[in-house]
Structure 1
Amino acid sequence: MPLEDASAEFHDFFERHYVELARLAHLLTGDSDAADDLAADAFVALWHRWDRVQRADRPLAYARGVVSNMARNSIRRAVRERRRVALFWTRSTDRAEDPDVAAVVDVRAALGRLPFRKRACVVLRHAFDLSEKDTALALGISVGTVKSQTSKGLAELERILGRRATEELVGRRS
């Protein structure tokens, strides 16, 4: 395919999906500025592999996987950096969690408390309304793992936010 055709297709893909992928990055990282950067970096990576993206059965799922992997790596880098800083910090940086935060914690803060995989499964399944199969494809994990991680993530959210708030968040499912 000529470069100008590929460029036009990529531009169209970008226009259709940038907002969604930036939103996914924001929900996974909890940081809107980092999410915009992450989404932009993901599109750079997608452009470099555009021939592979075009051949994918589900290009958007492929793109979601790129964003999810980049978000996971970003979170890991931040955690490693915090640990390095803590090693050189003379005062204790540990903060006690207030066990009664459920009434105060908003949804993003509650999602931020979930481990990455649980958070990603809950976000993709409920905020993006993806099927278990599409979620598994986006994250590169099995459907069974999506089911268990989503269930465990929702249980943790229920513990943090309360049953009523969690049901409102994800909607009542039969």
Structure 2
Amino acid sequence: MPVDDAATEFHRFFERHHAELARLAHLLTGEADAADDLAADALLALWHRWDRLRRAEHPLAYARGVVANMARSRIRSAVRERRRVHLFWSHRSDRVEATDVAAVLDVRAALGRLPFRKRACVVLRHAFDLSEKDTALALGVSVGTVKSQTSKGMAELERLLGSRAGELTGRRT
């Protein structure tokens, strides 16, 4: 079949099944906003394999499987993110007497303004005193990423906190 025929056939498949696949994504994830994106991403994946799939007996079944796998990945990512956030913000048992509550609140507010990866690198490196290698392992990134994200995160904290940044974060300047 010529390319134009394949494109037309896929377009018909898309038009016929996009809404159903979006509904499936919505029901699996509970996220109405993400449902259309998941369905579109699944259909894009199908388009890349359309030459093989259009001859398959049940391309819609395959499409549903792709949506289900993508939804599962999205849910797992959200769960991992929640666990990381909980880990980083959970209370530590080794409290220091006479804590400067205002300073702690300033640091937490500044950390909250950092993107997740920078915040995670700074917290693991400086609050949990992990090595660059251990931080990279915990976050599933390279040591180079840890170095650059930590450096950029600390620079951003210094900008946000001013001259007190090193004192408040435990970093020697």
Q: So what's the TM-score if we normalise by structure 1?
A: 0.50
For 1:95, the equivalent position in structure 2 comes to none
Which residues of structure 1 form unaligned runs of 5+? 93-174
Return the letter of the residue paired with 1:47. Answer: W
Backbone CA RMSD of aligned residues = 1.4
Give the C-alpha shift of residue 86 in structure 1. Answer: 1.1
1:115-154 aligned at under 5 Å gives the runs none
Residue type of the alignment partner of 2:17: H
| CA distance in 2 between partners of 1:5 and 1:83 (Å) | 47
Deviations 1:139-158 (A, max 9, x none): xxxxxxxxxxxxxxxxxxxx
Aligned mates of 2:7, 2:52 — CA distance in 1: 14
4+ residue stretches of structure 1 with deviation over 4 A?
A: none
Shift of 1:91: 4.9
Q: Deviations over 1:13-66 (max 9, x none)?
A: 001001100000000000111111101111110101112221221111111111
Q: Identify the structure with bigger relative contact order (alpha carbons < 8 Å, sequence gap 6+).
A: 1
Q: How many residues align?
A: 92
- In structure 2, distance between residues paired with 1:73 and 1:40: 15
Counterparts of residues 1-174 of structure 1 (less than 5 Å): 1-91=1-91
Query: 1:53, 1:26 → 2: CA distance?
Result: 24
* Higher radius of gyration, 1 or 2: 2
**Counterparts of 2:2 and 2:84 in 1: how far apart (Å)?**
47
**Alpha-carbon distance in 2 for matches of 1:91, 1:18:** 45
**Structure 2 CA distance, aligned partners of 1:55 and 1:80?**
38
TM-score, length-scaled by structure 2: 0.51
Residues of 2 paired with 1:52 and 1:86: CA distance?
A: 44
Question: Among the aligned pairs, what percent are the same residue?
Answer: 75
1:114-168 deviations in Å (ceiling 9; x for gaps): xxxxxxxxxxxxxxxxxxxxxxxxxxxxxxxxxxxxxxxxxxxxxxxxxxxxxxx
Q: Which amino acid aligns with 1:21?
A: L
